[in-house]
Amino acid sequence: MQVFFMKNIRFYLIIGFIFTSALGTLSHFFYDWSDQNLLIGLISPVNESTWEHMKLVFFPILSWSFFIPHPVSESSPSLRPALLLGGLSGTFLIPVLFYTYSGILGHNITWIDITIFFISVFSAFFYAWRLQDSARIYRKRTAIYFLTVLFLILFILFTFLPPDIGLFAEP
């Protein structure tokens, strides 16, 4: 029985990777497609800043975390916090990789930026897979949920009031 649910967890995470990759890619365009609707701008990039592009990983993974089937979450109570922690790590991987390579090269290259997105999504789901059966992650779930809500609030706040630092500037 445990093997059946482990396969479902793997299937859930693979489908989540595909969902996040597709939704993150499409959400890059949602704001413009919506004639710059402010509500859409809360969850989609409103400009080309690195901070706004971090939304491409954060919001699809947050959305996917709500779709954990009950038998899967019951067999792995650490899955949701592991997925959210993976989502946070994938979100932070975007600026780390972007500023590392563009700092070395002195400019950015579009195909590398796109690759960074997919690496970040893969990293988030790989991290979630590795941690989904961790009792330690389950014990830390309150802190993980708090950090997730904090970043949700920061994404909303900084969409309208971005600080005057490089992370929020358009290249």
Residue 135 neighbours by CB under 8 Å, 6+ apart: 78
User: How many CB atoms are closer than 10 A to CB 124?
Assistant: 30
* Structural domain total, the chain: 1
- What pLDDT is stored for residue 6 in this prediction? 55
Which ranges of the chain would DSSP assign to H, the alpha helix? 2-33, 38-41, 50-65, 70-75, 79-105, 110-131, 135-139, 141-160
Instruction: Kindly give the parts of the chain with pLDDT less than 50.
Output: 1
Spatial distance between the Cα atoms of 92 and 65, rounded to a whole number of angstroms = 18
Write down the pTM of the prediction: 0.91
Which domain range does residue 97 map to? 2-168
**Per-residue DSSP letter, 77:** T
> Which pLDDT tens digit goes with each residue over 141-164?
999 999 999 999 999 999 989 999
C-alpha 46/C-alpha 141 separation (Å) is 31
> Residue 76 and residue 25: Cα distance in Å, rounded?
29
CB burial string 62-86: b at 16+ within 10 A, e below: bebbeebeeebbebbebbbbbbbbb
